[in-house]
Structure 1
Amino acid sequence: MVKVGVHVSIAGSLDLAVDRALDAGCDVFQMFSRNPRGWNYPPLSDEIVELFRRKIKTTGIIPVDHMPYLPNLASPKAEVYEKSVATLTSELDRCGTLGIPYLVTHLGHHLGDGMAGGRERVIRAIDSALAASGSRTMLILENTAGEKNSVGSSFEHIRGILEGLADTKRIGVCFDTCHAFAAGYDLRTVEGIDDTLGQFDEQIGLKNLKVIHLNDTKGEKGSGLDRHEHIGMGFIGEEGFRHILHNPVFTALPLVCETPVDDRRDDRGNIAKVRELSS
């Protein structure tokens, strides 16, 4: 059985994310631990921490946290960069307090001053945050879709960051299927998937793969378009996801759908489609 779930809201109270995940039929869920659209956030209360931890223990659902939208670890703008490093540090600490094993982060955009500079800033940011945080949470680096000035759209980019880090014991990688396909990796056939995973293993190492973002895409292969679609309704398609969901590399890992909710399908529908295609 695959371990599959969706991104859920924390509206009302952070512990309600667990209730929503349970209601949707999740084995794993992803959330933001705070408002993802602002820099400021309230501290975690002892009561909320206790509630969250108790619900996680009772349900057995695997929680994954995701960094907010505003931080940019590759930014050449000093103020944004400093706030981004501080946010990453605090988010690692929040995950540690809540008992969340994984924190997923995008690697950011270098804003036109070059990939080398962007990569160096990402490395420095991660080193600083890991050194400052006492959390045991694993930081998960997510591949990007290849949009303009993005860092991390190729496996070589991610390898370059891993090679530059002072310590990788608390580092893993998230593979987003939409982003990979948009960046030019073929996931529609058994051969394409095997080739993609072979490149990943050569550049990064499959042992470092910890989380899967399972998303179809509204963009064609190599389009650089980061727009998610319902499982099987996009350019990867049902056959592509059937192949993905019969590959043991993917099925052994937590699968998080970041798919739309609209009149065509909701979160339960995407979870059901994943389970159908994996059977």
Structure 2
Amino acid sequence: MEQVKFGFHISIAGGLSRVCARAENLQCETIQIFTRSPRAWKLTPLDEYEVNSFVQNIRDSGIAPVFVHAPYLPNLAGSDVVRSVDAIVADAQRCYRLKVNYLIVHVGRAKGASQIQAIRRVAQNINRVLERMPESVMLLLENTAGMGSEIGYRFEHIRDIMEQLEDSDRVGVVLDTAHLFEAGYDLRTKKGLDETLSCFDRTVGMSRLRLLHLNDSVTELGSRIDRHWHIGKGRIGLRGFRGVVNHTLLRRLPGIMETPRKSYMDDISNMKTIRSLVK
């Protein structure tokens, strides 16, 4: 029986060469990283030793797949097209050097534009990105909670973006459980989860789903306020996550946790909890 591979977003503090040891200490089977500061435009060149060490360490560890998360600043729905596209292309090129096949991006923020205009911009800018990024890298769009002017909190937004892409086979989807719940998709019961996945399949297609972000939510169903929390201790709860990690449509997928981290023990506790739910 297939089973979800679990992992965390791992810090690159001190260099990429340290990532694998951190991941192994947490018993990760899959990981996600940034390749640079997520809150800055400045791009510091990757050190060749760090790159080679990362690639070798990951290969030796058997940790797979590995995901890179793009910085938070690029906005594919915004008007600063050149800067945002350049930043995402740069991260895709880093993925290529690091032998990573997946780059995660947030769908974007409308910032004064209508949703239709914003969706059109996102599709146009993804097309620009795809023209320049290595073919070995797949772009993954992450659903949002719908805070402020965010788009991508409804499956229809993602569908409409996909329909306007010139090469949609190079684009997949990440579903974040906290964002789903905060956007109004109820994951707490089998009925709610089944309805959510059925809706996603009809609208976007399960074949596009490549990754789960496993996060509980501080805020209520449909709040459209993005606040991650520890597995089973938020509004989704243990019952909801038990349903997610054992669902026949989701067991084939890796699951990355982006839960709050005050100490190493927070991650240990979340890993223990999520694994205890697997039947």
Residue number among 57, 64, 75 corresponding to 1:72 in the alignment? 75
Matches within 5 A, 1:107-256: 107-256=107-256
- In the aligned structure 2, how far is the partner of 1:137 from the partner of 1:269? 32
The offset of 1:3, in angstroms, is: 0.4
Contact 1:52/1:98, CA 8 A, preserved across alignment: yes
Contact 1:230/1:265, CA 8 A, preserved across alignment: no
The offset of 1:82, in angstroms, is: 1.6
The offset of 1:98, in angstroms, is: 0.6
Superposed CA offset, 1:42-84 (max 9, x none): 22233222111101110011211001111111113x3xx3211
Contact 1:74/1:122, CA 8 A, preserved across alignment: yes
Superposed CA offset, 1:80-135 (max 9, x none): x3211100111111101111111111011011221111111111111111101224
The offset of 1:149, in angstroms, is: 1.1
- In the aligned structure 1, how far is the partner of 2:96 from the partner of 2:226? 30
The offset of 1:242, in angstroms, is: 1.0
The offset of 1:245, in angstroms, is: 1.5
With over 3 angstroms needed to count, the CA separation of the structure-2 counterparts of 1:264 and 1:102, relative to structure 1, is closer
With over 3 angstroms needed to count, the CA separation of the structure-2 counterparts of 1:119 and 1:28, relative to structure 1, is same
SS of residue matched to 2:246: coil
- In the aligned structure 2, how far is the partner of 1:214 from the partner of 1:249? 15
SS of residue matched to 2:54: helix
Contact 1:182/1:220, CA 8 A, preserved across alignment: yes
- In the aligned structure 1, how far is the partner of 2:230 from the partner of 2:265? 7
Which residue pairs with 1:100 in the alignment? Answer: 100
- Aligned residues: CA RMSD: 1.3
The offset of 1:168, in angstroms, is: 1.2
Contact 1:2/1:275, CA 8 A, preserved across alignment: no
- In the aligned structure 1, how far is the partner of 2:54 from the partner of 2:108? 29
Structure 2: where are the runs of 5+ without partners? none
- In the aligned structure 2, how far is the partner of 1:177 from the partner of 1:235? 11
- Which sits farther off after the overlay, 222-231 or 242-251? 242-251
Contact 1:136/1:170, CA 8 A, preserved across alignment: no
* Structure 1 moving runs of 4+ over 6 Å: none
Equivalences, count: 276
- In the aligned structure 2, how far is the partner of 1:270 from the partner of 1:209? 23
Partner AA of 1:32 in structure 2: F
Contact 1:217/1:228, CA 8 A, preserved across alignment: yes
Structure 1: where are the runs of 5+ without partners? none
Residue number among 36, 39, 44 corresponding to 1:37 in the alignment? 39
| TM-score normalised over the length of structure 1 | 0.96
Partner AA of 1:64 in structure 2: F
SS of residue matched to 2:103: strand
- In the aligned structure 1, how far is the partner of 2:249 from the partner of 2:242? 13
Superposed CA offset, 1:193-244 (max 9, x none): 0000000000000000000000000011100010000000000001111111
